[in-house]
Amino acid sequence: MKFRVSKNVSSVLMLSFIAYIALADSSYASDYTQIEVTLCKVLELLTGTIGKAIAAFAIIFIGVSLFMGKVSWGLAISTALGIGAIFGAAGIVEAISGTGGELDIADCAAGGAAAT
């Protein structure tokens, strides 16, 4: 008996996760809107410890597959560049927009409560 996972399972899980983050309690007064806090939480997840662990597993998987001849060098290089773009995204946006100040992701994800 084969176990088949529906193609929509990953989509449902991702939407559920985003809804969970979006509906998180922020009953305290904050400097940011709910949308800003939600986006900062997603950014914090992607660039925090969870994101680093996922990136490490991706590099390990691509490295092992590369040396076994299962993937091309182009895929390995594009994976490394993609990971670099994810972790450098905030810095790239700040450089392009010319804001000068560094984004405090933890403060933003906390709704501005860390600044007080």
DSSP 18-52: HHHHHT----S--SS-HHHHHHHHHHHHHHSHHHH
First to last CA, the chain: 58
Tokens at 98, concatenated: 């010319």
d(CA 59, CA 27): 39
- For residue 54, count CB atoms less than 10 angstroms from its CB and return exposed for 0-12, middle for 13-18, buried for 19 or more: middle
Instruction: Provide the whole-model pTM.
Output: 0.59
61 close to 55: Cβ distance less than 8 angstroms: no
User: Mean of the per-residue pLDDT values for the chain?
Assistant: 77
Q: What is the pLDDT along the chain (116 residues), one digit of tens a residue?
A: 555 556 566 777 777 777 776 666 555 555 667 787 788 888 888 888 888 999 999 999 999 998 899 999 898 999 999 999 888 887 887 788 776 666 677 677 676 655 44
Answer whether 18's CB lies under 8 Å from 80's CB.
no
Please choose, from the candidates 50, 63, 49, the residue with its C-alpha nearest in 3D space to the C-alpha of residue 17: 50
Tell me if 102 sits within 8 A of 110, measured CB to CB: no
Domain range summary for the chain, segments of one domain joined by +: 9-115
